[in-house]
Structure 1
Amino acid sequence: MAISNGHPTNDSQDEIKVISSPLALPNGVVIPNRLVKAAMAEGIGLGGGTPREGHLNLYRRWAEGGWGIIISGNVQIDPRQLASPHDLTLPSHPSTLQAYTQLASSVHSASSSPLLLMQISHPGLQSSSTINLSRWPWESAIAPCEDRPTVSEGPVGWLWSHVMWPTKSCRIVNINGWMEIVNKFVDAAVLAERSGWDGVQLHSAHGYLLAEYLSPLTNPDPKPLPDVPGSIPLRLHLLYLILKGIHDNTEKRFIKAVKVNCSDFVQGGLDEEQANDIIKTLVSWSLLDIIEISGGTYSSPAFASPESLRTSSRQSLFAHFTTSLLPSLPPPPTGPAIILTGGLHDRQVIASSLNERACDLVGIGRPACLFPQLPNEIILNSKLGDGEARVGGYPIPGSDLMKIILGGSDPKEGIKLVGAGISTLWHEWQMCRIGRGTEPDINMHWLSGALIEEVWFEVLKGGPMGWWRYWRG
């Protein structure tokens, strides 16, 4: 929330000028300012499928808010392999194109003209059959290995893992299986372009399938894939084929972006030195316009744990990585723009990060669920001093109680995913409120959100009147 303890100054105006400055990408597209609404699962609708009315309402609010880029939540390339029961999917039906075209139009009709990127994803072994109900419980997720996420040590963690993932993942062993994944990602990008979206972001972080392919922990023995130059490391074969396929099948001005981990934060996984080499190699291909830096997996969800961000002088868990990396990369438009997301919720800190080139673009996620017009009303609002031009630090009523109930309170054997999930769901419910035309509620108790937003409106469709509207379409 904005904190009123300052007045506009000359420094404030300089900071606003930096943040509102446009940025040209390698493909020639110009981003109107440096603020990016980062990807978040919107929590609207159950069982996959195409955008609903709630998505249109939510994205209109963001589009009117002054963002330079809006990145969608997960759009899964395989409707049977979901990361959450609310994920959007790309079913093979004529209405699919129309639904995504309508969502793009709702964003592009805004006067601020933000760019719109579709985050295309595959959750890999982290896809839960019991939570998502997109396949039978005994049907496995698919991945480069046979495994299941380990959410914590101890009996509670063992129980959680086996309830959410009753079977270990099924390893993709043949080349045709991987080429099918490549084709699905490329097809998703082509559909996004035909629907009027400005680009796609490949989700290759957070322990998802593309990240699993990069990690020595989940892909210890990668095999070569066809039609990849011999100079490219084996772990990068899958990303290369997808990016090359998108490049060859879309226009130059269609933005190609990727989200990658700077670290998996788990022993044996991708570390910062390996991530550094991967990013430099990705840049050398000249196939990318934007790279977003993130980190963590379901086992160690740094990307979804705001409390871990307080340790950084720049308020971002990943700034130390980008500060050392970016001097070795060509700045845009010669090279791809770098997005840094996580904890950058203060005008002064955002401007400082841009001036020092800890990043080229700043991603803001969860505060955008409470303040959809955050850029115009807070960060870029010249009437607010620096002390007022910041958000974040708000508590979630009832979250501590839920951590105890769900086994996430113990610092040693507690389930880290529980704490992250409690925050994620609460913010999803705020987006659901916006989607049905109700303002967000920063004072909403977690249990109230679970009962009203999740059970009543999402599962029960709002009762008889909601059923009637749903049946009428």
Structure 2
Amino acid sequence: MTAANTLNQPLTLANGIRIPNRIAKPAMSETMGTIDNRVTPELATLYETWSRGGAGLLITGNVMVDRRHLGEPKNVVLEDDRDMERLKRWAAAGSRHGNQHWMQLNHPGKQSPKMLNSDPVSPSAVPFRKEMQSMFGTPRALTVPEIENIVERFARSAALAEEAGFDGVQIHGAHGYLVSQFLSPHHNQRQDDWGGSPENRRRFVVAIYEAIRAATSDRFCVGIKLNSADFQRGGFTEEESLEVIETLAKLGIDLIEISGGNYENPAMAKGTKASTRAREAYFLAFAEKVRERVDVPLMVTGGFRTSEGMAEAVDSGATDLVGTARALAIEPDFPQRILAGESFTSAVRPIKTGIKLVDRLALMEVAWYTRQLARMGKGKPPRQHDRGVLSLVEVIAVMSSRGAWTRLRAS
């Protein structure tokens, strides 16, 4: 089969929902909300562009479930129905051309910058490593009532997403955010029912999943983005990830997206081994291990560069969907071109500022591509050769304005 034939096959989930092809847009944090975290018209414009571009599944950037805890400035927060009409326009625009459109739900936990949050929380009061402590404060340990409240917030946000017309939600359980923190023995050193054993550390994500299921209809999809590992000494391992996947598969989860790493070890931003680069997908080997344990729809994100590499991953049986983010930030119509028979090679390239800490933490990668999303949200084409340092200056300015807004709101 050609790449177009392979990737043009629909995928039917267990609940009967049909994803029209095997190319997916994973979550990218758009930071395109208002300064006070509300939905903007630009989000509808951006997602209509991607829907027109041909991907079978679009997953939004991380929508926060608590406005007191943000991952970045201008995150959208979904706590109530105040923006329901704008949410409906966003949901409709993102599925206008027959694809699925899901909302990613998130809580950053300790990964909330000092500029945005003076009271970060986590399962346990474990600080970031020394060189990151200027950016992120030491969190305090969540109380049990606070944990239960966060579970309820995820469910409430999911119900609102369904009311707005989104086809599903994805729980962000990767990249060191709060769900990932609960799963990791490095970040979760609790001795109560929410920590300690792997079973107890899984309790939080299971509670969130079950609460979302109870708050939404049978045809509403629920997925998760999960680390294969967090690549941190004493942290979340591949074996524990497999156990989480087995648990969620038994509970009936619709789709599992595999990624890896966190802010301290950003494996989600770059591949390392030559053998991994040759296969393109960073986490395909882990997906093959998952296939040996469970039969659940899988999505692998990270590293795909060519239409042939994408098709090979699906043909191998290791994954059902290929997720590619950065390529869609600069060539939003590439899925349509592949499905029409074009042989595609991504124009994605490393983005550097020359500032070692910024470059090593992959912050510039995020900022540069976010800049391209903002252009598309204004109805403009993305630029493949934008200067990286301009994005860094822009991000600093936005974070400073967010800090000023927070101080004003508190006064």
Give the TM-score, by structure 2 length.
0.91
Aligned equivalents of 2:399, 2:141: Cα separation in 1: 34
Displacement of 1:394 in angstroms is 2.6
Displacement of 1:18 in angstroms is 1.3
Secondary structure of 1:163 counterpart? coil
| Cα distance change of structure 1 residues 71 and 48 upon mapping to structure 2, 3 Å threshold | farther
8 Å Cα contact 1:143/1:172 also seen in 2:
yes
Give the TM-score, by structure 1 length.
0.79
Residue among 168, 173, 176 paired with 2:138: 168
**Is 2:308 the counterpart of 1:354?**
no
8 Å Cα contact 1:293/1:318 also seen in 2:
yes
Aligned equivalents of 2:357, 2:59: Cα separation in 1: 32
Residue among 328, 336, 344 paired with 1:368: 328
Amino acid in the other structure paired with 1:96: D
Amino acid in the other structure paired with 1:83: G
Correspondence list, 1:427-442, <5 A? 427-442=369-384
- 1:313 aligned residue: 278
Displacement of 1:232 in angstroms is 9.2
8 Å Cα contact 1:126/1:149 also seen in 2:
no
Aligned equivalents of 1:343, 1:449: Cα separation in 2: 22
Displacement of 1:326 in angstroms is 0.8
- 2:173 aligned residue: 204
Displacement of 1:15 in angstroms is 2.2
Aligned equivalents of 2:348, 2:227: Cα separation in 1: 25
8 Å Cα contact 2:224/2:255 also seen in 1:
yes
8 Å Cα contact 1:149/1:298 also seen in 2:
no
What are the superposed Cα offsets for residues 208-265 of structure 1, whole Å, 9 maximum, x if unpaired?
Answer: 111111111111335226xxxxx99211211121111111221111001011111001
RMSD value, Cα: 2.3
| Cα distance change of structure 1 residues 310 and 430 upon mapping to structure 2, 3 Å threshold | farther
Displacement of 1:102 in angstroms is 1.3
8 Å Cα contact 1:36/1:67 also seen in 2:
yes
Correspondence list, 1:131-280, <5 A? 133=116, 135=117, 139-150=118-129, 158=130, 160-165=131-136, 167-173=137-143, 175-224=144-193, 233-280=199-246
Residue among 242, 255, 275 paired with 1:290: 255
Aligned equivalents of 2:220, 2:79: Cα separation in 1: 22
What are the superposed Cα offsets for residues 172-196 of structure 1, whole Å, 9 maximum, x if unpaired?
Answer: 13x2121101100000100000110
- 2:67 aligned residue: 79
Aligned equivalents of 2:380, 2:183: Cα separation in 1: 41
8 Å Cα contact 1:18/1:351 also seen in 2:
yes
- 2:366 aligned residue: 424
Correspondence list, 1:322-401, <5 A? 322-330=287-295, 336-377=296-337, 379-382=338-341, 384=342, 386=343, 389-396=344-351, 399=352
Secondary structure of 1:438 counterpart? coil
- 2:103 aligned residue: 118
- 1:469 aligned residue: none
Aligned equivalents of 1:265, 1:457: Cα separation in 2: 31
Secondary structure of 2:62 counterpart? strand
Moved more, 299-308 or 53-62: 299-308
Displacement of 1:276 in angstroms is 1.4
8 Å Cα contact 1:206/1:295 also seen in 2:
yes
Displacement of 1:308 in angstroms is 6.6
Displacement of 1:449 in angstroms is 3.9
8 Å Cα contact 1:50/1:100 also seen in 2:
no
Residue among 85, 108, 112 paired with 1:98: 85
| Cα distance change of structure 1 residues 395 and 203 upon mapping to structure 2, 3 Å threshold | closer
Displacement of 1:54 in angstroms is 1.7
Aligned equivalents of 1:456, 1:236: Cα separation in 2: 38
Aligned equivalents of 2:176, 2:182: Cα separation in 1: 9
| Cα distance change of structure 1 residues 100 and 192 upon mapping to structure 2, 3 Å threshold | same
Q: Structure 1: which 5+ runs fail to align? A: 1-10, 151-157, 226-230, 331-335, 410-415, 461-473
- 2:408 aligned residue: none
Aligned equivalents of 1:74, 1:48: Cα separation in 2: 16
User: Larger Cα Rg: Structure 1 or Structure 2?
Assistant: 1
| Cα distance change of structure 1 residues 193 and 340 upon mapping to structure 2, 3 Å threshold | same
Q: Structure 2: which 5+ runs fail to align? A: 402-411
**What is the aligned length?**
399
| Cα distance change of structure 1 residues 20 and 90 upon mapping to structure 2, 3 Å threshold | same
Displacement of 1:86 in angstroms is 2.6
Aligned-pair identity (%): 30
